[in-house]
């Protein structure tokens, strides 16, 4: 399986080099989407010293953490999304995938490595690097291990939520429009959870666990708040989210094949 994936990566790199202008402009564009939210904070912090107890650099750390996780998801896992699945189901590619003796979810993932995600990754590394330097966060072994676990968990959370939305395609077919709701929902991670009301904080912790992508983990690295050790929950929450979404996905496929539509 790894060999197959390596082959696909090679094919992708060839394609990027063929459309070199697209490659760089795409990465630049995604990089810009992250820059503008930094500009947003930069302007706001011209007028206030702290936002709900968060200084500018601390906010940078918070968003940098999410850029990094979104970057990995964007680069390696966007093969699974409502609009891709809609396209594959409508044009019959998905039915063909089901005939191959290979996990269809892995096929979807491996079929797509999106270079635009590099824009998120670069932004994430730059912002996180700058913020941890400004806040003099020392990358001790414990911090590095926790960062790795956080990113793995966060990527699982993002992937699982998108997978759940994609699963809806089996019933509603025209699911590409769900992205119009999905992406605004992801915007919740651009700000510290504590600016929202308790109901939304509850939702973003227990229902759509975006809080574990960056808010709870950031508390730990920045040494603030009562919920510091909730950072350790991120990989567990990611795993639970994946189990739930994957079960829904399996059920969706079973339903899809039995109706034969």
Positions touching other proteins (CB under 8 A) are: 19, 21-22, 25-26, 28-30, 32-33, 35-36, 39-40, 43-44, 46-52, 116, 174, 176-178, 180-181, 183-185, 187-188, 190-191, 195-197, 200
Give least dist CB 199 to other proteins, A. 12
Cα separations (Å) of 11 from 4, 16, 99? 11, 9, 23
Nearer to other proteins, 24 or 232 (CB): 24
Distant-in-sequence, close-in-space partners of 69: CB < 8 Å, separation ≥ 6: 124, 150, 151, 154, 155, 158, 213, 214
Rounded least distance, CB 144 to other proteins, Å: 32
Please give the structure tokens belonging to residue 151.
């990113």
Closer residue to other proteins in complex, CB, 36/99? 36
Q: Least separation, in Å, of the C-beta of 139 and other proteins?
A: 30
- Tell me phi and psi for residue 227, to 5 degrees: -100, 25
Q: How far apart are CA 211 and CA 195, in angstroms?
A: 12
Q: Which is nearer to other proteins, 31 or 151 (CB)?
A: 31
CA dist 153 and 108 (Å) reads 21
**Cβ closer to other proteins: 22 or 95?**
22
Nearer of residues 11 and 177 to other proteins, judged by Cβ: 177
Least separation in angstroms between CB 178 and other proteins = 7
What's the closest the beta carbon of residue 179 comes to other proteins, in angstroms?
Answer: 8
Task: Report the DSSP beta bridge partners of residue 51.
Answer: 54
CA distances 234 to 35, 136, 157, 242, Å, are 26, 24, 8, 12
């Amino acid at each position: 399986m790894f060999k197959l994936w390596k082959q696909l990566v090679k094919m992708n790199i060839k394609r990027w080099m063929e459309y070199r202008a697209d490659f760089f402009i795409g990465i630049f564009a995604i990089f810009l989407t992250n820059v503008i939210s930094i500009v947003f904070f930069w302007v706001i912090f011209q007028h206030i010293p702290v936002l709900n107890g968060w200084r500018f650099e601390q906010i940078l750390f918070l968003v940098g953490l999410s850029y990094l996780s979104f970057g990995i998801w964007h680069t390696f896992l966007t093969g699974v999304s409502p609009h891709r699945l809609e396209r594959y189901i409508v044009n019959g590619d998905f039915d063909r995938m089901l005939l191959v003796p290979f996990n269809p979810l892995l096929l979807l993932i491996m079929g797509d490595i999106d270079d635009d995600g590099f824009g998120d990754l670069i932004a994430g590394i730059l912002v996180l690097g700058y913020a941890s330097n400004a806040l003099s966060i020392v990358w001790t072994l414990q911090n590095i291990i926790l960062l790795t676990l956080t990113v793995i968990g966060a990527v699982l959370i993002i992937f699982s939520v998108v997978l759940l939305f994609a699963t809806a395609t089996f019933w509603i077919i025209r699911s590409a429009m769900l992205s119009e709701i999905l992406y605004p929902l992801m915007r919740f991670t651009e700000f510290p959870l504590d600016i929202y009301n308790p109901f939304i904080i509850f939702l973003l912790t227990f229902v759509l666990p975006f809080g574990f992508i960056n808010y709870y983990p950031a508390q730990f690295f920045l040494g603030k708040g009562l919920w510091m050790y909730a950072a350790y929950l991120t990989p567990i929450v990611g795993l639970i989210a994946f189990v739930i979404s994957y079960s829904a996905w399996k059920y969706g496929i079973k339903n899809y094949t039995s109706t034969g539509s």
